[in-house]
Structure 1
Amino acid sequence: MALGDWRPGADGQPFAALVAAARAEGIGRLNVEAAASDDLAAAELMANGLRPGAIFAARDVAVPDAAARRVDARRRDAAGIRPATAGDRAALSALAREEALFQAANTTAGTSLHQPPALFDGIVDGWLLDPGTAVFMAEAADGRGGPAGMVVVQDVAASAAERALGLPERHGYLSVLSVTASARGRGIGGALADRAMEWLSAAGLSRVALHYIADNPASAPFWAGRGFAPLVVSYSRSCSDRDQE
């Protein structure tokens, strides 16, 4: 049976054949994307051992009115948010690594727990050198001025698949939003998100997208509360029989 001939409620043989073929080629993981609104596909994929992984979500970039700008400014000032500079390289790298290790340890993001600091130094250098990327940092409001969080937002060109989802040719992409563990629960993440939206609005972008991990319990309510609607869900499963036991 070809996958194109498969009908809902089939016995799963097409997926079993696909997993076996992937395993024979040394492929360790199978990923399948489906529209977030396709409940039938979700049920069928999960019945065959795939689980939700990354969520691709988007929202409009609203132009804030004067009152909203004043509120955002107060929140930003309280969180000590400012544009990052080359002097923040080490702090940004540490925040990025902390976020990656948290995702590796606590979610099904699929990232490794063994990630050298130098890897994140290079990532941060790319952010800081890219004219289409803005990086903002929050500093702890405890008088010590330590790094509390960061947000990385980009002006990107839409792929053909993204245009098919309704994203414009140019749109924003919120690449990273991270708050260090000791500073969570203080509204810093919300203030960083507001600052990213302000930058996108000033850049003239009308839509913004991001990815988050489905089983990160903080992500879905945080982004849904800020108007992000899921567009695509990436489902995955191991191709190893042992992992399916």
Structure 2
Amino acid sequence: MRYLPLSPGHLEATIDLAATALRLRASLAGPGSSPPRDPAGIARAALDPHLTDGDRFAYIALDDGGTVTALLAGAIARLSPRDEAYTYMAPRHAHVPLSTWCAHDPRSAVESLPPLLAAAREHLDAASIGRLNIQVLDGDWWSAGLWRSLGFRPDTVFALRPLDAPIHAPATGPRVRAATASDLGAVVPLCLEEHAFHAANTGSGVAPDQDRRTVERIAGNWLDHGAGEDRERAFVAVDEWDHPVGVTTAQVLTAPAGSSSAALLPARYAYLGLTSVTASARGTGAGTALMAHALEWARHLPDPPDAVGLHYVADNALSAPFWQRRGFAPALTLFTDAPTNLRSTTERKNSP
């Protein structure tokens, strides 16, 4: 077996391997997904940039006959506090999406992925990138087990639930309404509080030095409730003085036809973005009330989607059990080789 960087001479065979993997993964997808019409085209679009972009890496395994049997490819991200992704991702990391890692069969995966991972890690170490993230479809338990055996742990979970599934909301709780421009001064601190919590209490790698101006710019785009369903909008839970004590956002996402996202996940679903309840209001039912209000908004759309999705951090001792108890089941998990947050682990051990 040989392991080497992807080259133009092996591109077509690697595309064939990735296209076959996409077809197999699509067979594990749930309701609302669309079988890929052009898996080779999807694979080509994903792999072509790896031949020319210096911030990408791609390694393949060749058997003794020269057949490509495994692939591991990804891209390096270097974020600054002015980038939106800086608010929810590690500033420096490498990302391997589902479309750029695969193996011909389980035996090839067990044999080849560890050496390919070692090659990628050597490349990333030279670039001073200490965190490698890899997407895994939750219906593919076999692959999840393999990455766990290689030292990876669940980091961020994309979870789904049926839109019309019951919500067991408390009888009393804060009132929820659409956020307005006058709420921006209260919403920004709620966002910063959420980012700070992740930085201090989870292994997500979120940086503590968030830029308030960036957060203000992001939140300022959530206040147009007359925009189309694909535009993110915010709802706030308010106290008796109508002051926001919690916030969530909602929109409808539609994957491009023929994309890997449409093949592996619902092609159209409601999406809940950042959800934050200030510490003094936790336990009052604010989180559930925010979720219920956002789902009610989605139900009243002219063409309501069948599912609702969101992301949560797997080792967040507050949000992970909250969303799980409200019917959200993991669909796509980002695994990472970065260590977990020790403070978060200690808190979970000491919790009842």
TM-score of Structure 1 vs Structure 2, range by shorter chain: 0.7 to 0.9
1:166-208: CA deviation from partner (whole Å, max 9, x where unpaired): 413x321101111101111111111111001100101122221
CA distance in 2 between counterparts of 1:109 and 1:63 reads 29
CA distance in 1 between counterparts of 2:113 and 2:134 reads 18
CA distance in 1 between counterparts of 2:272 and 2:336 reads 23
Matched residue of 2:283: which SS?
Answer: coil
Query: 2:176 maps to what in 1?
Result: 81
Query: 1:228 maps to what in 2?
Result: 328
| Bigger radius of gyration | 2
Query: 2:274 maps to what in 1?
Result: 176
The 1:102–1:181 alpha-carbon spacing in structure 2 relative to 1, beyond 3 Å, is same
Extract unaligned runs of 5+ from structure 1.
Answer: 240-245
Query: 2:311 maps to what in 1?
Result: 211
CA distance in 1 between counterparts of 2:194 and 2:323 reads 17
Are residue 163 (structure 1) and residue 262 (structure 2) matched?
Answer: yes
CA distance in 1 between counterparts of 2:327 and 2:199 reads 26
The 1:171–1:110 alpha-carbon spacing in structure 2 relative to 1, beyond 3 Å, is same
CA drift at 1:231: 0.7
Tell me whether 216-225 or 109-118 shows the greater mean CA deviation.
Answer: 216-225
CA distance in 2 between counterparts of 1:146 and 1:222 reads 24
CA distance in 1 between counterparts of 2:154 and 2:118 reads 18
Extract unaligned runs of 5+ from structure 2.
Answer: 4-60, 62-69, 71-102, 340-352
**Aligned match for 1:30, one of 122, 128, 132:** 132
CA distance in 2 between counterparts of 1:111 and 1:220 reads 17
Contact 2:255 2:261 in 1 (8 A): yes
* Cα RMSD after superposing both structures: 2.5
Query: 2:76 maps to what in 1?
Result: none
Query: 1:135 maps to what in 2?
Result: 234
Contact 2:157 2:311 in 1 (8 A): yes
CA distance in 1 between counterparts of 2:294 and 2:271 reads 10
CA distance in 2 between counterparts of 1:162 and 1:7 reads 23
Are residue 195 (structure 1) and residue 293 (structure 2) matched?
Answer: yes
CA distance in 2 between counterparts of 1:222 and 1:20 reads 38
Matched residue of 2:316: which SS?
Answer: coil
> Which runs of structure 2 are paired with 1:234-245 in the superposition (5 Å)?
234-238=334-338
1:29-86: CA deviation from partner (whole Å, max 9, x where unpaired): 211111113332222212222221110111221187xxx8xx96964xx412111100
* Larger RCO of the pair (alpha carbons < 8 Å, separation 6+): 1
| TM-score, scaled to structure 1 | 0.83
CA distance in 1 between counterparts of 2:323 and 2:169 reads 17
The 1:72–1:15 alpha-carbon spacing in structure 2 relative to 1, beyond 3 Å, is closer
Are residue 152 (structure 1) and residue 254 (structure 2) matched?
Answer: no
Contact 1:72 1:195 in 2 (8 A): no
The 1:73–1:53 alpha-carbon spacing in structure 2 relative to 1, beyond 3 Å, is closer
CA distance in 2 between counterparts of 1:73 and 1:156 reads 29
CA drift at 1:238: 4.5
> Which runs of structure 2 are paired with 1:12-51 in the superposition (5 Å)?
12-51=114-153
Q: Which amino acid aligns with 1:93?
A: V
1:122-170: CA deviation from partner (whole Å, max 9, x where unpaired): 01112224723231111124xx5432101111122225233112413x3
| TM-score, scaled to structure 2 | 0.59
**Aligned match for 2:221, one of 107, 117, 126:** 126
CA distance in 2 between counterparts of 1:99 and 1:57 reads 19
Contact 2:221 2:233 in 1 (8 A): no
Contact 2:270 2:308 in 1 (8 A): yes
CA distance in 2 between counterparts of 1:10 and 1:82 reads 53
Query: 1:243 maps to what in 2?
Result: none
CA distance in 2 between counterparts of 1:98 and 1:11 reads 39
Q: Which amino acid aligns with 1:34?
A: V
CA distance in 1 between counterparts of 2:237 and 2:242 reads 9
CA distance in 1 between counterparts of 2:263 and 2:109 reads 25
CA distance in 2 between counterparts of 1:164 and 1:104 reads 33
Contact 2:199 2:205 in 1 (8 A): yes
The 1:161–1:208 alpha-carbon spacing in structure 2 relative to 1, beyond 3 Å, is farther
